Amino acid sequence: MEVFESWQSYSKFERAVKHHSRYIHSPDIKAFLEIVLKTAENRIEILPKNIFFWRAQLGHDLIEQDEEVGKVPAPYPPERMQPRPDQSMEGRANPKGIPYLYLASERDTALAEVRPWIGSYVSICQFKTLKELRVVNCTMRSKGDKIYPKEPSPKKREEAVWADIDREFARPVFPSDDVADYVPTQVIAELFKANGFDGIAYRSSLGKGHNIAIYDIQAAKPINCFLFELRGIDFDFVEIPKPYYLNKHYKKSK
């Protein structure tokens, strides 16, 4: 049975494709990807035709209401809510120039994923799948956030590696990100695409539910569009242990 060499195999793969060889892989990295593909068989999910997802975009359109009121904010038109092939930027799953359709299972998750600021408008569109989709669901049986002092069982190694994969796909994308940060997840997404899968599902770090990246941008169509304005944000901070103090008179805030 093919098993991951270590519970830290994803970290080794990440360093290799980001800092050593991006397109030509060493035998170790090829072996890692083969095991990822093999174990992906335990995470296949079939999404039926005619199910609904959400996609959000920062911003809005303007439409003429009447001569007295003039133009008022409205959701972007349907064509604007779909990926634009000529303007696809680097993403967690797609390289620049190759657009994928990023959707969320929950409306509020899609809204949060674009990270709006208070007072901003967000256009959001409900999509319907046009065909059955066979995706790799990274959230299935992924148990992470554990550190092993010695190599665990093959099963726990697999859980740790897939938890790392899920966490990396879920990590928010920022305009200031280094393009190299996307390479590991892009390589894995393309691995699944080349082997007949329709997309990859992963958890959202900004809301409940999950996200999905679909390779065929025509596999779902927009059916309803809405406009939202962000009125407030709730923050929940938890202090992490091990602070340090440069001033002995520091008083902890409540």
pLDDT, tens digit (0-9, with 9 covering 90-100), for 209-225: 889 999 999 999 999 99
Pure H helices in the chain:
9-19, 27-39, 78-81, 107-113, 154-170, 183-194
CA distance 53 to 120: 22
Q: What angle do CA 39, 44, 50 make, to 5 degrees?
A: 165
Average of per-residue pLDDT values in the chain: 88
pLDDT in tens, 25-53: 999 999 999 999 999 999 999 999 999 99
* One-letter amino acid for residue 175 of the chain: P
pLDDT at 124: 96
pLDDT at 84: 84
Whether the per-residue pLDDT at 226 is higher than 90: the answer is yes
The pTM (predicted TM-score) of the whole model is: 0.87
For the ranges 133-137, 144-148, 204-208, the maximum mean pLDDT occurs at: 133-137
pLDDT at 141: 59
pLDDT at 59: 94
Whether the per-residue pLDDT at 208 is higher than 90: the answer is no
CA distance 164 to 170: 10
Q: Quick one: pLDDT band at residue 197, thresholds 50, 70, 90?
A: very high
Whether the per-residue pLDDT at 70 is higher than 80: the answer is no
pLDDT at 94: 93
Q: Quick one: pLDDT band at residue 22, thresholds 50, 70, 90?
A: confident
65 burial type by CB count under 10 A (0-12 exposed, 13-18 middle, 19+ buried): exposed
pLDDT at 121: 95
pLDDT at 254: 57
> Buried b vs exposed e over 69-81: b needs ≥16 C-beta within 10 Å?
eeeeebbbeeebb
pLDDT at 66: 72
